[in-house]
Structure 1
């Protein structure tokens, strides 16, 4: 195990003596990424939260639609690694709020593409502007080389996490377990990414 230089926060917490071999969360990659993810959650940013009355999942789906429209719900789930149920709930809410519209797919008639309407575009532009400002501030602590390296490392970690979860789901299916829909999606995403 690689020992990472302790942070001020990690030095404030001493590992317990109540358990044998406690997990040092400050040196646990998934935990550290989750901590950063929690800090960067869209509903944590007061400026973004004040721009619209949307939950984080609805903002993420709105952002995907605005950035990649016309786009299918399944593609939003794949691109953002949200499960299809979460995307479906967000789409229903965005439709009810009259922020998006649907359009028949030109290749598959039973598939609907999602697009922002004018009201949705206005919110999208406001949220993107706030997110860009925050991104620039975050990126300012990194050099260009560090930023390129960070994106490269994040891609490697994401790909490996997807592989591990898909392999685990596949193994459990082979053992006779009935896979929930989100686990089937992980397998499908992994096959799509690795092909």
Structure 2
């Protein structure tokens, strides 16, 4: 309850502008508030994580995906983490240069490249997991198991709805003959993959 009061206190510190008609009250705007929490939860903002390894958010997300789901392709990481292919590619390049991951070909299809942790990467991943589990325990201590289940279900609904919205916007542009950038084409592919 204390953290909710702190949020209300911040809300009360800011008055909506009178310079515009119907400005958005960001404290009551769900997508904005989800983004605020997401910003606070970025792993590289936590000093305990940075003491393990000082990586950018994209590298942290990618190494966690590789460690949790290896062997995995870059395309599958992009889909699972909702990152664009360019972001994953840059993270893979950095992690490879740090000798934390390795790229190898599938035995049945040499064109498909998969990623896995090296011994060094495994060590970093395990330290990250241990710290993340402690963070998770601390963060989840303010909600019940029922609230967590409801929150996870609600976030899944919002994720599905956001994907649908972005896909409709990108598809609408495509139908108008607009040449879509790669990240927008990727959103359409994600939606197709989710619904087949």
TM-score interval, normalised by the smaller of the two chains: over 0.9
Q: Which structure 1 segments of 5+ residues have no match? A: none
The offset of 1:106, in angstroms, is: 2.9
The residue matched to 1:146 in structure 2 has which SS?
Answer: helix
Runs ≥4 residues deviating over 4 A: none
Aligned positions, number: 191
1:20-59 deviation digits (Å, cap 9, x = unpaired) = 1111101111100000000001111111012113211111
Output the aligned Cα RMSD: 1.2
On the 8 A contact 2:67/2:117 being kept in 1, the answer is: yes
- Structure 2 residue aligned with 1:90: 91
- Structure 2 residue aligned with 1:23: 24
- Structure 2 residue aligned with 1:60: 61
Q: Which structure 2 segments of 5+ residues have no match? A: none
The offset of 1:63, in angstroms, is: 0.3
1:24-173 map, 5 Å: 24-173=25-174
On the 8 A contact 2:44/2:56 being kept in 1, the answer is: yes
The residue matched to 2:146 in structure 1 has which SS?
Answer: helix
The offset of 1:108, in angstroms, is: 2.4
The TM-score with structure 2 as length reference comes to: 0.95
The offset of 1:16, in angstroms, is: 0.7
